[in-house]
Amino acid sequence: MSESNLAARSDGLEGQVSGARVIAQALKTQDVNYMFGIVGIPVTEIALAAQEVGIRYIGMRNEQAACYAASAVGYLTGRPGVCLVVSGPGLIHGLGGMANANMNCWPLIVIGGSSERSQETMGAFQEFPQVEACRLYSKFSARPSSIEAIPSIIEKAVRSSIYGRPGACYVDIPADFVNLQVNVNSIKYVECCMPPPISMAETSAVRMAASVIRNAKQPLVIIGKGAAYARAEESIRKLVEQCKLPFLPTPMGKGVIRDNHPNCVAAARSRALQFADVIVLLGARLNWILHFGLPPRYQPDVKFIQADICAEELGNNVRPAVTLLGDINAVTKQLLEQFDKTPWQYPPESEWWKVLREKMKSNEALSKALVSFAKFPVPPLQCTFVSSSWAKRTDVELASKKSLPMNYYTVFYHVQEQLPRDCFVVSEGANTMDIGRTVLQNYLPRHRLDAGTFGTMGVGLGFAIAAAIVAKDRNPGKRVICVEGDSAFGFSGMEVETICRYNLPIVLLVVNNNGIYQGFDTDSWKEMLKFGDATTVAPPMSLLPHSHYEHVMTAFGGKGYFVQTPEELQKSLRQSLADTTNPSLINIMIEPQATRKAQDFHWLTQSNL
């Protein structure tokens, strides 16, 4: 009898095993090691069984956050995490995480309890067409026909989640399966699925791509999170350094090659995209993040070389000059072979490099200058009562205020000074995330997690918990820094209790401008309320000013800091990083109408803000 079957015998009656134990053992057999969720009818026993077989169970406070955490584990480790949810509403809450995992191309397994088979169509407790609903949000959605079928269904779900383009998979478990006992000898566990097969591009296409790169006058390499997931950092670094090519990382492509590498042109992002004549896309998609690859963001005749694991992605929005279908690491190695056979370097003294370096220098100088100002001049926030004193302040007046209150650039400048080089940086919010991306540096691959392709708010604390759990197992002592806007923090703020319960030494930074995009200070808020009820006079993007989010952390036993000056920020961050046993939250007050510097091109296609 196998070791797993022997272990299963202790589950119930002699020679009997429950459905919950079969589920747990099937997951463990597939090398699944992390489960996040919220227990209840009918899945509590599944979580208990998972712990018994050695799967880490992390109980969350919301199914969305649990699903975000499980998907982040898939990205960080290459093996899917599990999100365990109850039936009906529990599963529906998790759909956001499934959709986010699919859009990000991260492996994820969702296991949902469902109503008993004998009560189907009768209006059972939380009855819902779960398998059908999940087909819109997953690569694979199925319900085992029997307990004996569970191991094969779970094997297929795990395999589907990591093969080809990774994504979410759903397994539905009827309530009566969970405690149902079957003969242990009737269960046949399926051997752990093989690692994903490594596919390579056609040799002729690789030769053509190398030729196009050699003839480029203004080349650019764009590194996406697909390259990070493919563990392609070493081969991409060799390609960039050997051929002396400028590169630009997408937000979660940061760190595949360190941000402070001399070939990184992130500080000249707009100029690089707009004037490149050949662009090599390595695991990056031409979606909204890269402005679809279309003019005026790009030259009309720019030549794209697309490398992607998914054939359906090739040719989206543009007609590429060359397509390279395959694993990003393998394809990059194929390109390197071409340049090894016939060495070639892009001239570092070229006019293109000169233009990029000059733009980088000017942009970096501007960002440093903004550290001293509360607000960069932009059109004022549109308000109903323009006659009131708080609406009359001009941009020039605000911009002339130095140091206090702080702005985004001031905050991130001081944060960057103290961040450990090997830390995970989790970031979400509007300006908080976008500005943080340009200032906070990443030096290692898969060490930045943010709103991603789906632009999802609420992912931050789930991602941070996942990173901390994985780091605890694989890199003890590695820190997780979670940088949140005050609005973004509100989506999943109660997960602070989860952080404290598991004693995860996460440092949470809430960059607090009292609003969504922009807000108001306390005096302006009070003045505004003289004109009516907040529901009729407060702009929809405003939040309650001067909120003490740090008290959420102290309520559960963590450390909380309320800071208003650079000195207070430096001190609290220093103390938080020195404390490796307790989580902390630093509530950082900034100028409510602070924003980022003017952009040549909006990050989004359209924006009224």
536 phi/psi in degrees, rounded to 5: -110, -20
- Residue ranges of the chain whose pLDDT lies below 50: 1-10, 375-401, 603, 605-609
CATH, domain 408-597, list 3.50.50.60, 2.60.40.680, 3.40.50.970, 3.40.640.10:
3.40.50.970
Sign of CA dihedral 400, 363, 430, 260: negative
Q: Cis ω on the peptide bond leading into residue 405 (within 30° of 0)?
A: yes
Domain layout of the chain by residue ranges: 16-186, 203-355, 408-597
Residue 404 is predicted with a pLDDT of: 82
d(CA 14, CA 60): 34
408-597 matches 16-186 in CATH topology: yes
DSSP track, 202-225: -HHHHHHHHHHHHT-SSEEEEE-H
pTM of full prediction above 0.85 = yes
Nearest to 485 by CA among 466, 504, 463, 460: 460
Structural fold of domain 16-186: Rossmann fold (3.40.50)
Bridge partner residues of 590 (DSSP): 406
pLDDT in tens, 322-375: 999 999 999 999 999 999 999 999 999 999 999 999 999 999 998 888 887 654
Do 466 and 69 meet the contact criterion of CB atoms below 8 Å apart?
yes
Residue 514 is predicted with a pLDDT of: 95
CATH homologous superfamily of domain 203-355?
TPP-binding domain (3.40.50.1220)
Contacts 24+ apart (CB under 8 A), 330-333: 330/198, 330/199, 330/200, 330/201, 331/200, 331/201, 331/206, 331/282, 331/307, 332/227, 332/232, 332/235, 332/236, 332/239, 332/282, 332/307, 333/235
d(CA 105, CA 461): 20
